[in-house]
Amino acid sequence: MDVQMAEKRVKDLQNLLNQYGYEYYVLDQPSVPDAEYDQLIRELIELEENYPQFRSPDSPTQRVGGAILEMFEKVEHRTPMLSLGNAFNEADLRDFDRKVRQAVGEDYAYVCELKIDGLAVTLSYENGYFVQGATRGDGTTGEDITENLKTIKSIPLRIKEPISIEVRGEAFMPRRSFEALNKAKEERGEEPFANPRNAAAGSLRQLDPKLAAKRNLDIFLYAVADLGGMDVTAHSEALDLLDRLGFKTNKERRKCATIDEVLAYIEAWVEMRPNLSYDIDGIVVKVDSLEQQQRLGFTAKSPRWAIAYKFPAEEVVTTLRDIELNIGRTGVVTPTAILDPVRVAGTTVQRATLHNEDLIREKDIKIGDRVVVKKAGDIIPEVVNVLADQRTGDELDFHMPTHCPECESELIRLDGEVALRCINPKCPAQIREGLIHFVSRNAMNIDGLGEKVISQLFSEHLIKDVADIYKLTEDQLLALERMGKKSVSNLLEAIEASKGNSLERLLFGLGIRHVGSKAARTLAQQFENLYALQKATREDLTAINEIGDKMADSIVSFFEMEEAKELIAELEAAGVNFDYKGPKPVSVESSDSFFAGKTIVLTGKLEQLTRNDAKERLEALGANVAGSVSKKTDLVIAGEDAGSKLDKAQSLGIEVWDEERLVQELKI
């Protein structure tokens, strides 16, 4: 094939596959079998590899995910992404309607749309090409997640007209994708996502776009933030425009002439909600006329021309079969209701928290009761109340035990606490939970050691404390269920890599009572070495601003225990790092650094430093590293491909350095 033929074939394939993708992912009307699509995409990949000059930004091959990012760039929204005011009942909606009528008169209409339960994003197109996508963030500043958004196949990389436009939508995870993702996580022994919304948000904040590409996300576009001069006078027209440009909008929307029609629409969807293939948590009601929207205006937080009706938490009835006790890593005994399986807010629920003994007494909960269950915030299952009138007399009272169900030590209730607690440091349940905490993301972050794997290792007596994690062998791991050679190799590599973590991760992972991740970092910065902290007195600790009496007592008590001393010796023998690797903080008052007290913005790609490294070094010298440029910015550090932040800095007359100048001033 000569170059001209290759160019034509590449262009033909790109156009054909983009059309097939639009039919499949936007219209839900596939015109070719999957096998034919897969064959054509393979051909295109091969051609683009051989003739990379013909690879275009809108090629379907560009959806597989780009390079791994160090962090997400901050994006300042040109038009704020405001949140909506909420309505919870008919009275709230009629009050909203009254205010609209008072402001614009009697001639107005509403557009009602399903409120998709996902992550709000904004998409920018220049000359028809997708150039940037960002999260809502705080409404003013979000995060650049362009590469992750490219992996959503219903987002067009090129729209049907060569215009510049900014649109907004809700990225979400369909229920089928959510169930498949959680099944895979559970098989790997990892904690499943609580709901599709969390899963979608977590997927779009993956630093490796290839991981986001595997999550099978989708999107509905619901607004045009910047019409770019398009002749549109109503919100309903803007949605029709999105359809014509090739975007995916939700077709369940309806234009309503009165608030009574709005209420009827809501009532219908309260019933039909479970039949959808994705989650919704309400209905959005918007004034249709853009001119009337402008007249109604905004409050400080939300538009006056729109409101979100929130569905009441779905409540279902089931039978409480048993109450199970769980012992946490701090020894707290938590009762959990075991229920007949029931579907609530899109997922099957078999367990619900009961918090503590006082709550069980207050709600008069008995084993065998018919109970009402809901998800608090549509996330955490809880027992709302008991249907006492349905009791048969066979129900059983529940009494909290006097001794730990795991180690049989006496349970105690500390002064000022409602929870019962096991204080035996050798309690198997506490040890197991402590191991799970040690390997968690904010602690030693050992990928592949999820809750199920830890429980399996513990029950097989392969680990009894955190030091044993560093003694695991390939043969021991291969003997476990569902552990193949590749996964074992990856796990051992992750364990080895964790030895090099900075001290604050180890401190947090040790699970010292009252020491959270922030306090662990403060302690690591102050003492720089674990042995120095181990020798610290109560007075040394309370002299640090963020360390109070309770935390100081807890730290001193921990390091006085013989078990702790033995554990530290074992960790040192295993080669675990005991030193703080981050920068030493410098107070603004005591620092003579040029950077002390200055607000600095980093933008563009840095070559000699990672973004995190530069940020930590500057903060250690007393600087405030901000995400966006404003009149309060003192200095901008601009790397390669610096964009709008550099332009804004120059327009405001703010001092700008390149990376070389920064490196010189930091004396690296």
Count CA within 13 A, CB hemisphere, residue 165.
26
* pLDDT value of position 589: 47
Region 282-309: what's the mean pLDDT?
Answer: 92
CATH of 428-498, one of 3.90.1510.10, 2.40.160.20, 3.40.50.2300, 1.10.150.20: 1.10.150.20
Mean pLDDT score of the chain, rounded to an integer? 87
Region 285-309: what's the mean pLDDT?
Answer: 91
pTM reported for the whole predicted model: 0.53
State the pairing for strand pair 165-172/280-287: unpaired
The CATH number of domain 3-63 is 3.90.190.20: no
Of the residues 74, 115, 375, 452, only one is catalytic, namely: 115
Q: Where, residue-wise, is CATH 1.10.150.20 in the chain?
A: 428-498, 503-573
* pLDDT value of position 590: 46
Q: In whole angstroms, how far apart are CA 613 and each of 606, 625, 657?
A: 10, 12, 17
* pLDDT value of position 113: 97
Region 315-331: what's the mean pLDDT?
Answer: 89
Does residue 571 or residue 75 have the better pLDDT?
A: 571
Please tell me the total number of residues recorded for the chain in this structure: 668
Question: Is a pLDDT exceeding 70 seen at residue 86?
Answer: yes
Tens digits of per-residue pLDDT, 65-74? Answer: 555 555 678 8
* 3-class SS string, 237-263: HHHHHHHHHCCCCCCCCEEECCHHHHH
* pLDDT value of position 53: 85
CATH of 503-573, one of 3.40.190.10, 3.30.70.260, 3.90.1150.10, 1.10.150.20: 1.10.150.20
Q: Where, residue-wise, is CATH 3.30.470.30 in the chain?
A: 85-310
Q: Are 630 and 600 in contact (CB under 8 A)?
A: no
* pLDDT value of position 64: 60
Q: Where, residue-wise, is CATH 3.40.50.10190 in the chain?
A: 599-666
Burial of 339 (0-12, 13-18, 19+ CB in 10 A): buried
Q: In whole angstroms, how far apart are CA 667 and each of 108, 481, 569, 584, 623?
A: 65, 52, 37, 15, 16
Q: Where, residue-wise, is CATH 1.10.287.610 in the chain?
A: 3-63
% of the chain with per-residue pLDDT over 90: 42
d(CA 456, CA 11): 53
Q: Are 381 and 349 in contact (CB under 8 A)?
A: yes
State the pairing for strand pair 85-87/306-310: parallel
* pLDDT value of position 660: 86
Under CATH, domain 85-310 is a member of which superfamily?
DNA ligase/mRNA capping enzyme (3.30.470.30)
Q: Which residues contact 20 (CB under 8 A, 6 or more apart)?
A: 30, 31, 32, 37, 40
Region 349-353: what's the mean pLDDT?
Answer: 88
Does residue 304 or residue 141 have the better pLDDT?
A: 304
Question: Is a pLDDT exceeding 70 seen at residue 595?
Answer: yes
* pLDDT value of position 353: 82
Burial of 135 (0-12, 13-18, 19+ CB in 10 A): buried
Tens digits of per-residue pLDDT, 512-556? Answer: 888 888 789 889 988 999 999 999 999 999 888 778 888 999 899
Q: Are 325 and 317 in contact (CB under 8 A)?
A: no
d(CA 648, CA 631): 10
* 599-666 fold: Rossmann fold (3.40.50)
* pLDDT value of position 185: 75
Tens digits of per-residue pLDDT, 261-285? Answer: 999 999 999 888 888 889 898 999 9
d(CA 197, CA 279): 8
The letter for the amino acid at 46 is E
Q: Are 134 and 145 in contact (CB under 8 A)?
A: yes
Q: Where, residue-wise, is CATH 2.40.50.140 in the chain?
A: 315-403
Q: Which two tokens stand for residue 435?
A: 């191991």
Question: Is a pLDDT exceeding 80 seen at residue 416?
Answer: no
May I ask the CATH architecture of the domain 315-403?
Answer: Beta Barrel (2.40)
Question: Is a pLDDT exceeding 80 seen at residue 169?
Answer: yes
Please report which confidence band the pLDDT of residue 591 belongs to, taking 50, 70 and 90 as the band edges.
Answer: low
Tens digits of per-residue pLDDT, 30-61? Answer: 777 777 877 888 888 888 888 888 888 888 88
Of 183, 187, 221, 222, the C-alpha closest to 199 is 183
Active site residue 115: yes
Question: Is a pLDDT exceeding 50 seen at residue 400?
Answer: yes
